[in-house]
Amino acid sequence: MARKLPRKDVVIIGLGWTGSIIANELCDEGLDVVALERGPWRDTATDFNIGYAPDELRYNSRQELMLRPAQTTVTARNNAGQTALPMRQYGSFHPGNGVGGAGVHWAGITWRFSPADFRLRSHYTERYGAQAIPEDMTIQDWGLTYEDMEPYYDRFEYLAGVSGKAGNLNGRMQEGGNPFEGARKREYPNPPMMQTFGPTLFAETAAKMGYKPFPIPSSLLSRTYTNPLGVTMGQCTFCGFCTNYGCANYSKASAQTTVLPVLMRKPNFELRTLCEVLKVNLDSAGRKATGVTYVDTSGDEFEQPADLVILCAFMLDNVRLMLLSGIGKPYDVRTGTGVVGRNFCYQMANQVVGFFDPAKYNFNNFIGGGATGMAIDELNNDNFDHGPLGFLGGGSTRCAPIGAEPISKRPTPPGSPTWGSGWKKAMRDSYLSNLSVGCEASSYANRGNFLDLDPTYTDRLGRPLMRITFDFPENDVKMSAYVTSKVAEIVRAMGAQQIVEYPRTGPWSTVPYQSTHVVGGTAMGADPSTSVVNPYLQSWDVPNVFTVGANVFPQNSGFNPTGTVGALAFRAADAIRGRYLKSPGPLVHA
Amino acid sequence: MTPSNAPKTGQPSVFHTSRRRFLATTAMGLVALSASGARARILFGTGLPWDSGSIEPPRQILPGPWTFFTPREGEMVEAIAERLIPADDLSVSGKDAGCAVFIDRQLSGHYGTSERLYMKGPFQPGLPTQGDQSDLTPAMKYRQGLKALDDHCRRTMGGRSFTDLSPEQKDQLLAAMEKNEVKFDGPVGAGSFFSLILQNTMEGFFADPIYGGNRDMVSWKMIGFPGTRYDYRDHVLKHNQKYTLPPVSIGGRSDWARKG
């Protein structure tokens, strides 16, 4: 029997990027806020201490900071005809765990989505006609516009101290920025990062070929910066232990380095770590949340009553809590009806590796970070004419050496031995003279790809695991082949002796790491028959429940998601402060 | 908590400390005990040079008696590491770099026991896209795989064990295992066992030396990886120029050690 605790105004589930932003905003409103975090407290001095933060085995190979499958995992299959089996170890993606969430070990690449992204179905229909969208492709509009999002992107970028170069300031194009981006009201808060040799060679070559290269917008900071909350961050040192690691320099934006120093001091905020929420409790009519039930490490259950429940966990957990709590109608793949679990999408992670003459090229790839590099956007989204191509979508192309820790990052040319003296020589020759260019591409919703609860496998608490039914749709495979071939042209022109193309092809495998950019499952939108939350991130069915995360994306763009996730957190907080609290109830009437 | 009663199962436990290992690490242990009392005892059982959530500095894993392997198993893993990474003009061998010590300690820790992984049933065979669905932990795979390899050698190589083979014969057998052309008795296939031991040997060779492999940063020196320097701001704009400072590890450098 759960012990009932005193009521709070707001309970926030998960204290990562979105939870900490919203908690801070709602505390400023004077609300009594409690955050429940299933993982441990984490801070820089203890958990990413410079004395042991650069440890590839601990943090990259053994995933010390990430969610342990023993706590929760997912089951996976490629289609509804297969039996889903558990991901016994995380491979394809790496959910975070603990305070800061996946925002501790992220790469720091911080995009705004394109204006066309937010009205994707309308955009493609207008440009190519309705028949250009395959029948099973369930892409849709977000129910808001880029212009609605602009102020919130701005707030997240200034919170995180993003280092970059604007391409479009109030409609005026800026030399050296991304010429395809939507108009922004002001420059990035910090200038672009310095560039190492590899990205510089990429940018020079791409420019000669007619592309317009620009620095990747980076939440690893180019200089010391104090954000609007008064929290100061340090300059990135290009340490090369970045993606999959916590930052010991206070240079990578995360909840720890931007919000928590302020939030944790607020008297109306309380954090309970190692507390896993079991479900959101609803009233007898199922129209109002009364709070949540959670369990702590001793196994004791607690009921935390609250007026407002905000799901800010990793996207898979937000969708799962909706399903476990009975919020919204679950998606039924046979009929295509229902919404929770629908439009689960991923990211097409494509790559080209170039092997250069070791006598002439020394890229020093160990100098780098998750977001240090140069990009082009000509191959992204609908920035090129898809009319004659037979597919939709594209990806952001960038050369961004994230580091070269040698357990995982020592490619050899195809045909090299995998062990013995021959392997040693090939590996030694390639280590400093290989260079990768990636294309992180869109993933469009398909009727057959969805999330639901697994009928067989359960977590340590006996609750069903989330089941992923997913494969790469034909559209996305065609798109990947095209963009990868275009990237290969650039790498060839850069002077590589040998090129290996890795376009993403099906079937989707849970084994090799691809990207943690899983999205969708509780899409936002203007139409309750195809969305779970309205354009203010509020549940259509239970209006005192909000959810913020990549789970509200109706499909994925050819960009990393965190910039948009952070902006949505500010948008939801604004909607609660400015609208919901004045008149608690649905903010949009369907 | 009697060290000599420790079961040799590879299961994680503060009790899992062999007497041999206790003696081998006594010097290090005494330092830790004087600093933090009874808590230091836990250090010996984890197979790792650090504890999760602790701010105490990592402790160098030292060569010494095996914590997981039997002496026979240890010899075999050393012999395999010596062929996967042979000594040549580029570096010492995987054996001499400490790869077998690394694997032994890893198998004594959470990696060996799969305690952080999802190990609930039902276990059923899956598609290649669904990943490893075996109920065997890495520790169990080593125990069974090494036995299967030894049995295979004795059966097909005139009664000799793997360690008795010539370097050429070892290489031929390892190459056949890599291609999964060898039939092992038991649940661990030759191909998957080869992949596991290759992966772990490479981890040991390239990981920070605190874990017992990559002795004196031998692999980092070979390829030009500067290790844990953590600040390259002065070299970012030195395009296409060799980085000349020698590597540093979490434990520092051997030439920084106190003399005398």
DSSP state of B252: B
CA distance B160 to chain A (A): 23
Report the pLDDT value the prediction gives residue B57, as an integer from 0 to 100.
Answer: 82
Count CB neighbours of A46 within 10 A: 13
Average pLDDT, chain B: 84
Q: Is there a contact between B240 and A73 if contact means CB atoms under 8 Å apart?
A: no
Note the helical H segments in A30-111. 44-47, 56
Nearest Cα neighbor of A24 from A219, A310, A264, A230 is A264
pLDDT in tens, B32-75: 333 333 333 333 346 778 877 777 888 899 889 999 999 999 99
Tell whether B230 lies on the interface with A, counting CB pairs under 8 A: yes
Using N-to-C axis directions, what is the helix angle for B190-206 and B71-84, rounded to 10°? 80
Nearest residue of A to residue B241, measured between CA atoms: A362
Bridge-based pairing state of the strands A301-311 and A545-547: parallel
Could you say which of A362, A428, A511 has the minimum Cβ distance to residue B90?
Answer: A428
Q: Which residues contact A148 (CB under 8 A, 6 or more apart)?
A: A118, A535, A571
> Cβ contacts of residue A35 below 8 Å, gap of 6+?
A11, A12, A13, A14, A15, A19, A20, A23, A269, A270, A271, A272
Q: How far apart are CA A256 and CA A85, in angstroms?
A: 35
Which residues from chain B sit within 8 angstroms of residue A195, using beta carbons? 236
The domains of chain A, with CATH numbers, are 3-580 (3.50.50.60)
Query: How would you label A213-222 residue by residue, b for 16+ Cβ within 10 Å and e otherwise?
Result: bbbbbbbbbb
Judge: A70–B118 Cβ closer than 8 Å, yes or no.
Answer: yes
pLDDT of residue B47: 74
Instruction: State the Cα–Cα distance between residues A199 and A375, nearest whole angstrom.
Output: 8
CA A366, CA A431: separation in Å to the nearest integer? 10
Q: Which residues of chain A have pLDDT under 70?
A: none
| A46 contacts B116? CB cut-off 8 A | no
Is residue A301 within 8 Å of A293, Cβ to Cβ?
A: yes
> In chain B, which among 198-227 make CB contacts under 8 A with chain A?
198, 202-203, 206-208, 210-211, 219-220, 222-227
Spatial neighbors of B151 by CB under 8 A, at least 6 apart, are B185
**Interstrand relation of A8-13 and A301-311 (parallel, antiparallel or unpaired):** parallel
A405 CA to chain B: closest CA distance, Å? Answer: 8
Counting one residue from A and one from B, how many pairs have CB atoms under 8 Å apart? Answer: 183
Q: State whether residue B174 is helix, strand or coil.
A: helix
Cis peptide before B122 (omega within 30 of 0): yes
3-state secondary structure A361-389: CCCCCCCECCCCCEEECCCCCCCCCCCCC
Q: Which of residues 117-146 of B touch A (CB under 8 A)?
A: 117-120, 122, 124, 126-133
Among A424, A432, A460, A472, most B C-beta atoms within 10 A, so best to mutate, is A424
CA-based nearest residue to B218, from A406, A267, A83, A173? A406
Contacts with A361 (C-beta within 8 Å, 6 or more apart), sequence order: A432, A433, A435, A495, B240
Q: How far does Cα A562 stand from its chain's mean position? A: 5
Residues in chain B within 8 Å Cβ distance of A458: 120
| Distance between CA atoms of residues A506 and A75, nearest Å | 18
DSSP conformation class of B176: H
Contact A54 B230 (CB under 8 A): yes
- Interface mutation vs chain B, best among A366, A510, A513, most B CBs within 10 Å: A366
d(C-alpha B207, C-alpha A406), whole Å: 8
Among A200, A362, A427, whose Cβ lies nearest the Cβ of B242?
Answer: A362
Q: Which of A83, A239, A507 sits opposite B231 (nearest CB)?
A: A239
Chain B partners within 8 Å of A78 (Cβ): 127, 129
Report residue B73 as tokens. 């198993």
Kindly report the number of other CB atoms within 10 A of residue A78's CB atom. Answer: 22
Helix A562-575 vs helix A146-160: crossing angle, to nearest 10: 110
Contacts of B131 in chain A (CB under 8 A): 85, 87-89, 91, 509-511
Check B203 against A76: CB less than 8 A apart. Answer: no
What does the pLDDT average to over B123-142? Answer: 97
Q: Which of B210, B228, B237 to mutate to test the interface with A (most CBs of A within 10 A)?
A: B228
For residue A134, what are the contacts with CB-CB under 8 A and spacing of at least 6?
Answer: A473, A474, A475
The partner residue sitting opposite A432, judged by closest CB among B84, B219, B224, is B224
Complex ipTM over 0.85: yes
Q: For residue B52, give the nearest of A61, A64, A424 by CB distance.
A: A64
The Cα–Cα gap between A534 and A546 comes to: 9
d(CA A291, CA B260): 65
Residues B82 and B97: their CA atoms lie apart, in Å, by 9
Mean pLDDT of chain A: 97
Comparing C-alpha atoms, which of A320, A259, A327, A347 is closest to residue A553? A347
Residues in chain A: 590
Determine the 3-state secondary structure of A391 from DSSP. Answer: coil
Tokens representing A253 are 């934006």
Closest chain B C-alpha to A4 CA, distance in angstroms: 30
Q: Is B171 on the interface with A (CB under 8 A)?
A: yes
pTM confidence score: 0.93
**For residue B50, which residues of chain A lie inside 8 Å, CB to CB?**
52, 58
Q: What are phi and psi of A458, to 5 degrees?
A: -130, 160
